[in-house]
Amino acid sequence: MKGSFALAPALRDAAQAVAEVAAGKSLADELERFGAAGGTPRAMLIDLTHGTLRRYGRMQAIVRALSRREQSDRLVEALLWCSLYALESGRYADYTVVDQAVRACGLLERWPAKGYVNALLRGFVRQRQSLESRIRADVEARYQHPRWWIDALQRDQPGHWEAALQAGNSHPPMCLRVNRRRADTADYQARLDAGGIASRRVGDHALLLSHPVPVSRLPGFEAGQVSVQDAGAQRAAPCLDLAAGQRVLDACAAPGGKAAHILESADVSLTALDADPARCERMRRNFERLGLSAQVRPADCTCVADWWDGMPFERILADVPCSASGVARRHPDVKWLRRSSDLPAFAARQVEILSALWRVLGAGGKLLYVTCSVFAQENEAVIDAFAPRAPGVRRLALPDGSRAQWLPDAEHDGFFYALLQKQA
């Protein structure tokens, strides 16, 4: 159990971050701001914020069930959500959480709310069992996702939607990709085992860890022998059907994991684009760590005239911007920042990207369309909308023999893959 002396300031910082997310801001940006300021250890802050946002619908329902206030200060509300998560996490004694939450009111300069926070949290401790039947009637509290998200999954994934929602509330797995140019997968797994890190193979060069560990514990990480990459994301390079000498484009490359996997897999000439120059620089540094080389350019892939030299590509990876609904457990604020109206906008942008990239794909070439989404509106519907308007589109079976849509589960996140060939 973490020391109680650190919980009050941690609850203060977590409440401030969660309140900003509730107001529409990115959790990643808030965590970066707190990290720059120092204070609460990052691991503790991530636990409180991620845990609260994974259970956000439930936390809101509990407060509504126990509170007699129609409206409350947003910081106080966020403090209650974070404190309720701390109570349910089992990491702290109940009396510790209640006491430290009241102290956090003072740290937030919300002194008049001390009595309210104390009473509500004590009420939860007393009524914890009886509350369950009351809040389970609330769909968002039960599944801990927005109602529109639940409805969309029910429609798109009949028979699988509850499992997908449950996985979306879980802690994400940690998977490694062994750099075949610098290490052997079996040998690397033996090194992990020798260091007390249990793993199992889930692909030719993928190792799924039994429990996440800091990258500082991974042998050979700084020497470029291994990277952290979800097993679902590791489908991309094999599905591209790569061969030495090919001219390959990764059109939306940052943060660069799939691009690095391409370069580890075959001796190709790779161009990696991203619209953000800072993200491009991070890609360059990662390629350097792994001993890889590519042409990295800051560019919007749809503005073809700005970056294309006129030579067609034989393979294109289009890992397009999307709702990120398949990786929401890694970014739990996504569930509450997204709106159903976002999906048509993403779909329109995805078709625009495909249309631009089809121009630079050579005859006989292959384009792999990828999203980290679980919604058909961004996946099958996009392919269906694009194919009739583009010349020579032929959809191919995926080389790994697996289905196009992977839903999140204990081994991997949610991804969609479609392989298109440009016929002469």
List the catalytic residues.
372
Q: Which residues pair with 394 in a beta bridge?
A: 421
Closest-CA residue to 421 (of 383, 370, 368):
368
User: Which residues, at least 6 apart from 37, have a Cβ–Cβ distance to it below 8 Å?
Assistant: none
For residue 284, the number of C-alpha atoms closer than 13 Å in the C-beta half-sphere is 12
Confirm if 368 and 316 have CB atoms less than 8 A apart: yes
DSSP 246: -
Closest-CA residue to 284 (of 274, 275, 293):
293
Question: How far is Cα 277 from Cα 27, in angstroms, rounded to an integer?
Answer: 21
Question: How far is Cα 210 from Cα 202, in angstroms, rounded to an integer?
Answer: 12
Closest-CA residue to 348 (of 395, 374, 381):
381
> What six digits make up the tokens of 153?
């999954």
- In single-letter form, the type of residue at position 204 comes to D
User: Which residues, at least 6 apart from 175, have a Cβ–Cβ distance to it below 8 Å?
Assistant: 202, 206, 207, 208, 209, 228, 229, 230, 231, 234, 411, 412
DSSP 299: -
Tell me the C-alpha to C-alpha distance, in Å, between residue 379 and each of 167, 346, 389: 20, 10, 16
E-state strands within 69-193? 175-178
First and final CA of the chain: distance in angstroms? 64
Q: What are phi and psi of 208, to 5 degrees?
A: -95, 120
∠ CA 392-397-398 to the nearest 5 degrees? 115
* Peptide linkage before 408 cis (omega within 30 of 0): no
∠ CA 125-131-133 to the nearest 5 degrees? 150
* Peptide linkage before 312 cis (omega within 30 of 0): no
Question: How far is Cα 172 from Cα 189, in angstroms, rounded to an integer?
Answer: 20
CA 64 to chain centre: 29
Closest-CA residue to 174 (of 407, 412, 408):
412
